[in-house]
Structure 1
Amino acid sequence: MGPFEMVVAIIAIVTIGKIIQTKQKAKLGIIEDEDMMGNKTQRMIGNSDTSAMQEEIRALKERIQVLERIATDNNSATDLNRQIEELRNR
């Protein structure tokens, strides 16, 4: 085995290790945050985080549905303005 094959083997082993590590963190609900300086911190996703994210996703999906309906329906300008204002008030 030559030096090129050794380098490729090492890179493959490190890559596979990182993939396995990332999958395990995802399975356990661990989030890794990185700040502007490159400092990494890890935290667990709690039930409150999960429910807050699910609620935000639900609200965003509703807004997207309304925007899609507004874009595809043939409405008057005043009706469009009313619907947009309703979205802003949510």
Structure 2
Amino acid sequence: MDWLALLIPLAPFGLGGLWIWTRHQSKMVDKQKELMLLGKNTPESDDGRRMQEDMKYLKERVATLEKIVTDERGARELESEIAKLRDS
């Protein structure tokens, strides 16, 4: 019963936060619709293609870094590999 007495004064804050969050989500949906209507967020647009190329490049970089980090070689070999990657 004590937990209920604690929740009652906090209820307005929870409801206010929920109201703010739903309002924000509604605005985000409206913005996404607006961008889709303008054609700026489609894969066919120049921005969409550029973003896809950038994403592919970044994924390749992350894969290389993961390979370096998870490789079980010694510290000297790791340092030499990093030096080779910097030079290329």
Larger radius of gyration: 2
Using the size of structure 1 for normalisation, the TM-score is 0.48
Using the size of structure 2 for normalisation, the TM-score is 0.49
Bigger fraction of residues in strand: 1
